[in-house]
Chains A and B, each alone.
Chain A
Amino acid sequence: MDDNRIIELYFARSEDAISETAKKYGRYCGSIARSILFSEQDVEECVNDAYLAAWNSIPPARPEMLAAYLGRLTRNISINRAAKERAGKRQTNASVLFDEVSEFTPDQRAKEPIDSVEFTDLINRFLSGLKPKARVIFVQRYWHMDSVDQIAKSLDMSISAVKMTLMRTRSELAKFLTKEGYTL
């Protein structure tokens, strides 16, 4: 079923919207959650939470790209779950991610609170200036939360090259954010 028909089901408040979503994007959302969470149970729970979030937000939202919308929901829920488990010293696949992201995460002790919309806009601005290869690797790593190994396989690159690209991109992003006034 195409995305527009699925969205119409959400707008019609038909329960087929969820089943059709799971049928089409269940594996996709699961892979995103599995990139972040260690436990398969947690993965299933987060995916189900993502479906619920979609049911609760559509309408009024009418996403232009359903895959991205669902992926984003799954991602955020998984990240929050991972953050909790990290705080509880529980193993997650996101632990390495958190360490890497820390390199360009603004310090919360800044004078002004960090506005998410503004921050996201800056990230998009930064990404627009990257070469496609570096941008895809960044998105796969920090949006899809794929492992370095998965990225290397999917793009026919060596692990070393992926790691090096990520390291350089993080460094450039940190400089970019610093130039924009953020304290890292």
Chain B
Amino acid sequence: MKDERKTLIDLGGIDDKYITEAEQAIASKAAPKEFSKRRRGRTAALISAAVVLVLLLTAALWLFLPLKAPYPDVSKYKGSDYYDLISAINVQNYRKDHPDEAIFINNYEKYLKSGKQKVKLQYVSTETDKDNSGKGPTAGLPDEEGQTYFEVTDNQTEGVIEADMFKRSGKYLFYLSDHDLLAYEIAGADTKLAGSLRVIDEEYIDYTEGFYLSEDCTKVTLIYSATQLDENHHKIRPFGEYTVICSVDVSDPANMKKTGKLKIEGESYTSRMVDGKLTLILSDDEKDWQNINFDDPASFVPVMDDGESIKCLPSDRIHAYGQMYYIYTIVCRIDESTLELEDSIAVLSETDPEHIYMTEDSLYLSGSYFDESGDYSVLKSNIAEISLDGEKFGFIGSALVDGYAKDKFCFDEYNGVLRAVMTVQNPVIVEKDVSYTLVDNASIYCFDANDMTLLSSVENFAPDGEVVRSARFEGKTAYVCTSTTLVAVDPVYYFDLSDPNNITSIDTGAIPGFSTSLISLGNGYLLGIGRGRNLTLGRYTPAFKVAIYKDVGDKVEEVCSYELAGSYSENYKGYYIDRENGVFGFAFTTDKWFPWHDGEDDPEPVEVPDKSPFEETPVYVLLHFDGEKFEESVIPLSDSFRQGGYYYLRATVIDGKLYVLNNDQILVIAPEFTKAIDHQRLSRIPNFG
């Protein structure tokens, strides 16, 4: 029961000071000082609005008017064709000299944008692996004896030929051994050296790309990079580092001779040949950016020496992109027959292209770098597209993505869509505001090849900690293998890319081991080359594993596998891949044999046999897939044959005989020794080396 009357009466006892306060408020009809509102007339409102507007405009001007730039003035070069490039380089040079100085465009950036939190970086190295899968050897059409071209390089893209140390015609095997081009006449057990020519004269060779054999098998186009030093052993400029394209007449292998030479500044990264047109990709990081003379374009622009004069690349053929400029990537189009430099374009960015993927019409350059613009320092990749299509030759666009690619097989263009598989790094806080770590995972992206805009992606599809080991695209399908470095388990992810805007995927489950190369055999079959399941911190010998997988519609299953303890080269070009006949060959060095078990972080050792069947024996392994299983042939090699390793070892099968070349040696294996045998008989096999 309440007495509101009494309450109201009691409220009459409110202090006089409060009553006076209220009466004054009523009397003046104005709020006390704490009141924020005040009745204003229309004029007062307009004046207020005008004042506010003026204040806003002033604030906007102060916030967004450009601040005076701290870097040197280069306005005197406005008349130069290279002025845009000069301006960009000028800014970048200042940033490099003042890496800790925050340069703000305006006061908004300076005062209102949140600052960057620097944290400790956990570095993850990138893998650069040229192992690829591609189209296998094909038989040429019958022609004049010796003039038939046979493709022995497993090119990634059909019709886009890759240079190699080994090419062949119907009659000859051509092999580049160090500075010499060797030609062997194919004759089985009577195979002999037909001729040789010293093709590389330079003393300091940085890199040998390899060579091409023309369609009529009369010309070799050789590509290599060299360094030129002065008397003080410093690189001279320009052309301290340069690439040579050298043509050799091999129509008569016994009398081979050089016929032309083109020299371009920069180191060759890779090249491709399409219909007699050579596309050469070079990296030029020889510019002394800190001592640039803007009056001399040769100090900051790529130069070329065509034998008559040294010329700077025109400004309209140079494109700068990315956040920092360190390296030029130069793309040159060269006529195979004349070595004429038809056109070239240079892109200036922060990194050289780690991986290059090329179709007949487009070139994709992918380079990774540490992006420190955010709160974390993580690896990102810039993927740039260059059109190779005739008059459209030039820069199309670029895209920035998280992560890095394992090799060029992580890229594939299909129906105007570029697909890319990347290992990504996700930052995870370790200690708040102090440190973080990076956890690996995998992502797949689809870009519109017309302008490199991102269409769709599937991010972080693997278990945390796994990196991309290999990838293979087959039209609308992609297969990706991921694994950690400790537990070799090979899930093969199957992606349906038929609708780039709606990627679907299937985790096919774990298969022991992982593939460093995935090779399509057609008809839904994949060949995986990689490691067995016992890769564990070096305590056990890594197992070499070759497996056949089959796409059964909703998943990928392992059909059969072959494992051998030992080491092998991951240079894909060293593998013999014959898709038509299902024959595959690999050079290999066996190691002490341990029985394996499931890999864990710290596995228990198991009983070691007193004797192993073989120990550090170089062998060449031939496998034949009969549709259900592998039949193996293990051919021992001599110690001298394996000197220098297997990176330059090449092999091919001609008329049932196996021809193996390495350095200046050649081995011909008779058909009877390529039949399937098991390794327990290895000790009774004669050494042919």
Interface residues of A (CB under 8 A from B): 64-65, 67-68, 71-72, 75-76, 79-80, 82-83, 94, 97-99, 101-102, 104-109, 114, 116-117, 119-120, 123-124, 127, 131-133, 135-136, 139-140, 142-144, 146, 153-157
Contacts and interface: CB of A to CB of B under 8 A. Distances in A.
Please name the 8 residue pairs, one residue from A and one from B, whose CB atoms are nearest each other, closest first: A120-B13, A83-B5, A139-B22, A98-B4, A105-B7, A68-B16, A105-B2, A156-B39
Interface string B28-39: 011111110111
A97 B8 contact: yes
A156 B32 contact: no
B126 to A, nearest CB: 62
Given A102-B2, A108-B3, A155-B35, A67 B10 contact: no
A95 B23 CA distance: 23
Question: For chain A, what secondary structure do more than half of its interface residues adopt (helix, strand, loop), or is it mixed?
Answer: helix
B176 to A, nearest CB: 88
Contact of B18 (A102, A131, A135): A135
A67 B25 CA distance: 15
B112 interface: no
Contacts of A157: 31, 37
A150 to B, nearest CB: 9
A124 B16 CA distance: 10
Given A133-B35, A155-B31, A101 B7 contact: yes
Nearest to A120: B13
A163 to B, nearest CB: 16
A97 B31 CA distance: 23
Given A108-B1, A156-B30, A144 B6 contact: no
A72 B37 CA distance: 30
Which one of A79, A98, A102, A142 has the highest number of Cβ atoms from chain B below 10 Å of its Cβ? Answer: A79
Nearest to B14: A143
Contacts of B11: 101, 120, 123, 142-143
B32 A133 contact: yes
B142 interface: no
Given A67-B23, A144-B22, A144-B26, A109 B5 contact: no
A108 B1 CA distance: 5
A139 B11 CA distance: 9
Nearest to B8: A79
B563 to A, nearest CB: 77
A139 B31 CA distance: 14
Contacts of B26: 140, 144, 146, 154
B16 A65 contact: yes
A136 B29 contact: no
Contacts, number: 131
A135 B19 contact: no
Contacts of B9: 76, 79-80, 116
Interface residues of B, number: 34
A122 B31 CA distance: 26
B19 to A, nearest CB: 5
Contacts of A127: 14-15, 18
Nearest to B39: A156
Given A133-B31, A136-B32, A143-B19, A101 B12 contact: no
Contact of A120 (B2, B14, B25): B14
B7 A71 contact: no
A64 B1 CA distance: 36
Contact of B1 (A79, A109, A136, A142): A109
B20 interface: yes
Contacts of A117: 13
A143 B14 CA distance: 8
A116 B12 CA distance: 10
A123 B13 contact: yes
B14 A123 contact: yes
A71 B31 contact: no
Contacts of A146: 26
B4 A105 contact: yes
B4 A136 contact: no
Contacts of A109: 1
B158 interface: no
A166 B14 CA distance: 17
Contact of A143 (B2, B5, B12, B30): B12
Contact of B14 (A80, A139, A156): A139
B130 to A, nearest CB: 73
15 contacts: A67-B20, A68-B19, A72-B13, A80-B9, A105-B7, A108-B1, A120-B10, A120-B13, A120-B14, A124-B14, A124-B15, A131-B34, A142-B8, A143-B12, A154-B29
A116 B3 CA distance: 12
Contacts of A120: 10-11, 13-14
Contacts of B8: 75, 79, 94, 97-98, 101, 142
Contacts of A83: 4-5
Given A120-B14, A139-B19, A156 B5 contact: no
Which one of B9, B10, B23, B34 has the highest number of Cβ atoms from chain A below 10 Å of its Cβ? Answer: B10
Which one of B6, B11, B37 has the highest number of Cβ atoms from chain A below 10 Å of its Cβ? Answer: B11
